[in-house]
A and B are shown apart, each in its own frame.
Chain A
Amino acid sequence: MNQVLIDDDACTGCKTCYRACFADVIRWDAEAKRPIIAYPEDCVHCNFCEISCKDEALKVVADWDLPYPPVLERGFPYTVGGPR
């Protein structure tokens, strides 16, 4: 699974990462004024939250071995992704 790591000390609660995430991975804790990584399974590592954070408080770590739908039909033994 892709990960979005938050440096709580660096975060200033500006909410930019919440707005930047188009995949609804990041929700917002209004009380704590901090992002919640609510649906990391849907992160597509576009990195937009990370590059948009003026405080450099987020880092996206991609999982390159996520399952990928078949590229050849009928069970032809060829897979994309996973350890090579």
Chain B
Amino acid sequence: MTDLSHLGRVEQADVVVIGGGIGGLVAAVAAKEKNPDADVLVVERATAGWAGQANKGAGIWWYLAPEDDPDTFVKFHCDHIGHYIEDQDLLGQFGRESLATIERVDGWTHKLQRRDGEIIHKRFKPFLPWSLTGMDLDLMRVLARHAKKLGVRFIDKTSLTDLLTDGGRVAGAVGFSLLDGSPLVVQAPAAIIATGGQSYRIMGMWSCQRGDGLGMAWRAGAEMRNAEWGPFAQLAGIRGKEPLIGAEDALYNAWHEKLSPRFRGELEADVCGMTSATWYKQMMAGNGPLVTFHPENWMLANTTEDVEGGTVWDRPVAVKFWTTLISRVRAADAPGAFLEVYPAVLGELSPIKVDHHMATTVPGLYACGNACYNGSGLPGAVPASPGRMRGAGLYGATFMGIRAGESAAAQVATGAAPQADAAQAEALVREALAPLERADGVPAMDLVKAVQYAVNPVGYSIYKSEERMTEALGIVEGLKERLPQVKAADAHYLVAAHDARNMALSAELFYRTALERKESRGWFIREDYPERDDTDWLKWINAARTADGGMRIWTDDVPVADYPFQPSAAQPAAERS
């Protein structure tokens, strides 16, 4: 093993899991179950068991109950959500393995809610061919305790920034402590990226997703796929800025015209991209502001009890979390029946390309959860989980985490032992800490905000056109030139300096691939190409880093003829079912 002790704290492991959210914890547990002798280390920027998105969501789990038919689910998904860009084989496995997977999680955590032995479940909407169940939001702490019991090791408050490689294989990772900026070098023959996706630090609750895993995978040479489907957006109250479920079903403009029936069909699985497009067109036509009318929001009434109430599932932590948050948001928003709304960008870029074993194109590197949700090909034409399939976030991270953990553990068992390169490690540590050394430069948060300005406008990233995306890409290109001057006052802001770099990369990746797709499909909506084009665009768009640091983009045909379901000749445009 290469001696790297001169660089700071050095840890050796068989598998390093980067990120201690639900995907990372599940991957760590699955790796230990597969290979109990493997030394599994989880490195988390916050605190594992508390970190990530899972404990700040609804705690809802998507799955196929025994009465749900997997083929019906895949067909529905193709017709109404993924629009035939799915990897239907993986999606079918996702459905068929769901019940066994959540039962396995229950074996680790005992958090599934049952009545007379049966999992308590319900339908989100009567016509959707799947079921939902719920677990309480302290699930993550229970899962972390279980992982520790199995012997998984943890390092918290530490941000890993780049991967070490040996002849193209993963050999570890480098990073630094948030508490004092001291470097950490991990030597490991297998790494699992479980950092979540990219939410650009716009929506507070999801701002743990900062593209750090995406960035390190990219710089190590990993291919990306399906980056053009982000970002996700949902109507939110103008002051509370918290997404309001069902607002799109009761949307009015300033002239009291009800807009919802014009853009939203009866069979919508969930939030649709045309909502944001409609908001944009109405605002630009001078018909704003847009408001939602609560009494007509049937979904709000139908789902509030699932999330905030305690009667569907007994979940005291979730009830406390949501009642605290929502009561404050509602007090901040207009208290009447009408609420002014805007499309809140939630982010969700998840393009690390993985195969069915969650292996990336870099040997020894795996990914799971929202780091690779779109990159897996599983969801098709919709941004990362839950996308338009509520509850798919928790289950998706688990489904992928198990595969990633087992794949990494199996690789370790082969005994391959790549050696970290001392010069590479030294250079990456120096680069990671460099913003701390710059007295003069650009404050990290200035660059973070500059990326947000390039991504948040609806006309740039949701209702797209070549002209507007080119304009946004110009903003990204401009701020990229300032990245080498980024400075950080301390280790806390050093994280922001790396966020800026990874956010700029994510935005560039999104716009360059989105400019390639010259059609509208599912969540992907272009003003200049409003029709779905199954002749030319049943394709996956890939991207990879070139030797000179540029971006190479190419397409692969979706092998739709080999899949169970094919699109019919007449297909609807964009989002309409």
Contact = CB atoms under 8 A, between A and B. Distances in A.
A23 B51 CA distance: 9
A37 interface: no
Where chain A touches its partner, the secondary structure class is loop
B461 to A, nearest CB: 10
A70 B55 contact: no
Interface string A17-61: 011111110010000000000110010111110110000000000
B211 interface: no
Interface residues of B, number: 52
Contacts, number: 100
A22 B47 CA distance: 7
Given A19-B50, A73-B460, A24 B205 contact: no
B202 A69 contact: yes
Given A70-B457, A81-B239, A45 B495 contact: no
Contacts of B289: 78
Interface in B314-368: 317, 320-321, 324-325, 328, 332, 334, 340, 342-343
Contacts of A69: 202, 449, 452-453, 455-457
Contacts of B471: 73-74
Interface in B270-313: 280, 283-284, 288-289
Contacts of A51: 317, 320-321, 324
A44 B449 contact: no
B241 A48 contact: no
Given A46-B204, A51-B324, A73-B471, A27 B179 contact: yes
B26 to A, nearest CB: 18
Nearest to A45: B204
Interface residues of A, number: 32
B207 interface: yes
Interface of A: 18-24, 27, 38-39, 42, 44-48, 50-51, 62, 64, 68-74, 76, 78, 80-81, 84
A71 B50 CA distance: 31
Contact of A24 (B46, B325, B452, B468): B46
Contacts of B453: 69-70
B472 interface: yes
B528 to A, nearest CB: 15
A40 to B, nearest CB: 12
Nearest to A16: B50
A38 to B, nearest CB: 7
